[in-house]
Amino acid sequence: MKVHRTKTRTLFFICMLLLGALMAPTALAGAAETQALQAVPSYVNPITGQIEDEGQSPELGQGMSENLVLATPASLLVDAEGSIFITFRVGLVAESQDLIVQLLNADGTVDRTLPYSIVENHPDENTQDIRIMVPDREPTLRISLVSIPMGREVVCFATFAPEGEAVEVPIAEIGGEVDDTAIVIQEAGDEHAGIAEEDRDTALNFLAFAGGFLVLAGAGAAVAFLRKKKSDDA
């Protein structure tokens, strides 16, 4: 009987170790920092003060920028490995293609193109949420795409600030109404690099739950088997 009891305890201990190992990714995935942001769209490059869009119209251009890059919702996430992700919402996504998001250097020139993932589509609102990985918490982005109705590329910029913080848009005061029909723009295709953090966390949670269930089920079966064997031996 002492031998059976020892085997049972050893098996139970091993199962608990396995369960802990399976749950570790979930714990790490949850160890993240999040912060609500507001995007600050700008028709001019906020670093150089120059307009890079072919239209060269500050009044229409700022309205286009604010309809393309929505101020909210936006968020910052720092995961357990220290990687920084920003999610923000783009609008007017019904008639455009080839959306490109680029990171700017300190002098306002393009550093590199940033892969992005589509986190969620909102067809009823003609918007979608996209996520990018950035090197720091205060990136300056150059955003361009091709407007199908206009038949050309349009360009704007975006910076980010904590939600609710007073911000200054680097452009002269805009007056009058903006004609959205002249600047309707839309999404890129579905093939973009990167995986949304929520998707990764969901997968980790599912795998941990399934693995834990299998480990506990196996432990229960093993204990039942040893008890039956003990009873048969007696």
Report domain extents, the chain: 2-29+199-233, 33-193
Asked if the model's pLDDT at residue 42 lies above 80, the reply is: yes
Distance, in Å, from the CA atom of 54 to the CA atom of 136, rounded to the nearest integer, reads: 30
Across residues 164-192, what is the average pLDDT?
49
The contacts of residue 206 (CB under 8 Å, 6+ apart) are none
Structure-block tokens of residue 182: 């002249």
The contacts of residue 76 (CB under 8 Å, 6+ apart) are 33, 34, 35, 37, 84, 85, 86, 137, 160
Query: For the segment 182-202, what is each residue's pLDDT rounded down to a tens digit?
Result: 333 333 333 333 334 454 454
> Which residues is 79 bridged to in the sheet?
none
Query: For the segment 49-89, what is each residue's pLDDT rounded down to a tens digit?
Result: 999 999 888 888 999 999 999 999 999 999 999 999 999 99
pLDDT of amino acid 16: 54
Across residues 22-44, what is the average pLDDT?
75
More confident residue, 48 or 183: 48
**What is the pTM (predicted TM-score) of this model?**
0.63
Contact 185, 95 (CB under 8 A): yes
Structure-block tokens of residue 34: 């999040």
Query: For the segment 114-145, what is each residue's pLDDT rounded down to a tens digit?
Result: 999 999 999 999 999 999 999 999 999 999 99
Distance, in Å, from the CA atom of 213 to the CA atom of 193, rounded to the nearest integer, reads: 33
Across residues 163-174, what is the average pLDDT?
74
Across residues 27-44, what is the average pLDDT?
82
Structure-block tokens of residue 24: 């570790």
pLDDT of amino acid 173: 38
Distance, in Å, from the CA atom of 74 to the CA atom of 80, rounded to the nearest integer, reads: 20
Q: What does the mean pLDDT of the chain come to?
A: 76
Structure-block tokens of residue 114: 């940033």
Query: For the segment 203-232, what is each residue's pLDDT rounded down to a tens digit?
Result: 455 445 555 555 455 556 555 655 665 566
The architecture (CATH level 2) of 33-193 comes to Sandwich (2.60)
